[in-house]
Amino acid sequence: MKKLSTTGRAWLKGFHIVCTCAWVGAGVCMFLLNFVARPDNSHDLYVVMAALTIIDEWAVIPAAVGSLLTGLLISLLTPWGFFKWRWVAVKWGLTIAMTLFGIFYLSPWLHEMAAITVADPVGALQNKTFQSNRLLLSLSSGPMFLSMLFLVFISVIKPWSTRVKRRHAARAAALHEVPESPPSVDGNRRRGHGQLGAPSAQIGDGGDGVPGWQPGGVQPQIGGDHQRAA
Ligand code: HEM
C-alpha cells in the first residue's frame, strides 16, 4: 500500500495524539467523578450520573474509536506497520482489549446505574445492583487509567526494539567495531542516536527503521525528528 508523505504522517500523528489525549482526559474526568464526587442525595446523584453518561457517550467512546482508527491508519499508511515493532503490537492488543472491555462491561454498568437513578432517584444509592456496579466501575477505573498511561509512555519511549538491536549487532560485526553514538542534538533527551535499542529511524535511514548513522556518515540535523520510522 502507498505510504503517506512526511506531511501526511505528521497530520495523522497529530489526529492520533488528539484522540488519545481526549481518551485519557475523559478517563481522568470519569475517574474523578467516581472517586471524588460521592453524592449523598438524590439530586447530586442524578447530576453525577448524567455527567458520567455524557462523558462516556460524547468523549470516551468517540475518542477510543478515534484512537483505534488513527492507530489503524498509522499502521496501514506508514512504515510502522502492525507487528514489526513489539511496542506497536502491544498497543494493538491493549487498545482492543480496553475498547472491548469498555463496550461490553464499563458502559453497560454505567448505563444500568443511570437507569436505576432515573427510575428511583431516592433509593438508588441503596440499590444492590447500583452498589455492585459502582464497586466494579471503581475497581476497573484504576487499571484502565494505568493502561492508558502505559500506552502513552510506550508510544513516546518506543521500547523493546529487538529488531534494531539485531541489526546494530550485525552492523557492528561487519565493521569489526562497536559503533559509538553520534552527538546528541537535544541533550540526549531521547534514546536513539546510534544507541543500541534505538527504536526508530533517523536521517540516513535505509527505510527499515534502523538509525542510519555510520562513522563519517550523515549526522542528525538539529531540530530533525529522530524518532520517526522511515
Ligand atoms: C490501535 C491502537 C494504536 C496503534 C496501532 C498506535 C500506533 C502508534 C504509532 C505507530 C505511533 C508513532 C507514530 C509516529 O511517530 O509516526 C503512535 C504514536 C502515539 N500514540 Fe499510538 N497507537 C494506538 C493507540 C494509542 C493509544 C490508545 C494511545 C494512548 C492512550 C496512544 C498514544 C500515542 C501517543 C501519545 C503517540 C505519540 C508518541 C510520539 O511522540 O511519537 N496510541 N501510535
**Amino acid making up residue 222:** I
Do both 229 and 148 map to the same domain? no
N- to C-terminal Cα distance for the chain? 15
Q: Which of 45-49, 157-161, 188-192 has the lowest mean pLDDT?
A: 188-192
pLDDT tens digits, 85-124? 999 999 999 999 999 999 999 999 999 999 999 999 899 9
**Of residues 121, 104, 103, the one with CA closest to residue 48:** 121
Overall number of domains in the chain: 2
Instruction: Record the pTM.
Output: 0.76
Ligand 1: list residues with CB < 6 Å: 9, 13, 16-17, 20, 23-24, 67-68, 71, 74-75, 78, 80, 88, 91-92, 95, 148, 151-152, 155-156, 227-228
**What distance in angstroms lies between residue 67's CA and the mean position of ligand 1's atoms?**
8
**Residue 1 domain flag:** no
181 and 75 in a single domain? The answer is no
Q: What is the pLDDT of residue 68?
A: 96
**CA–CA separation, 56 vs 104, rounded Å?**
13
In terms of domains, do 209 and 125 share one? Answer: no
Q: What is the CA radius of gyration of the chain?
A: 23
Q: Given ligand 1 and candidates 16, 98, 148, which is best to mutate, with the most ligand atoms within 8 Å of its CB?
A: 16
Helix (H, G, I), strand (E, B) or coil at 164: helix
Judging by beta carbons within 10 Å of its beta carbon (0-12, 13-18, 19+), is residue 72 exposed, middle or buried?
middle
Q: What number does the ligand 1 atom closest to the CA of 200 have?
A: 15
| Same domain, residue pair 117 and 226 | no
* CA 214 to ligand 1 centroid distance, Å: 29
- Specify the ligand 1 atom closest to the Cα of 64: 27
In tens, the pLDDT along 215-227 reads 333 333 333 344 4
**Grid cell listed for 78:** 506508514
Q: What is the pLDDT of residue 225?
A: 42
- Same domain for 216 and 144: no
In this structure, the answer to whether residues 138 and 179 fall within a common structural domain is no
Examine the domain organization and report whether 166 and 136 are in the same domain. no
Q: Is residue 217 part of a domain?
A: yes
Residues 197, 222, single domain; the answer is yes
Alpha helices in the chain (DSSP H): 6-35, 42-55, 61-77, 86-101, 107-119, 128-157, 162-175
Q: Do 15 and 111 belong together in one domain?
A: yes
- Do the domain assignments include residue 122? yes
Range of the domain at 175: 161-230
d(CA 130, CA 133): 5
Give residue 168's pLDDT: 64
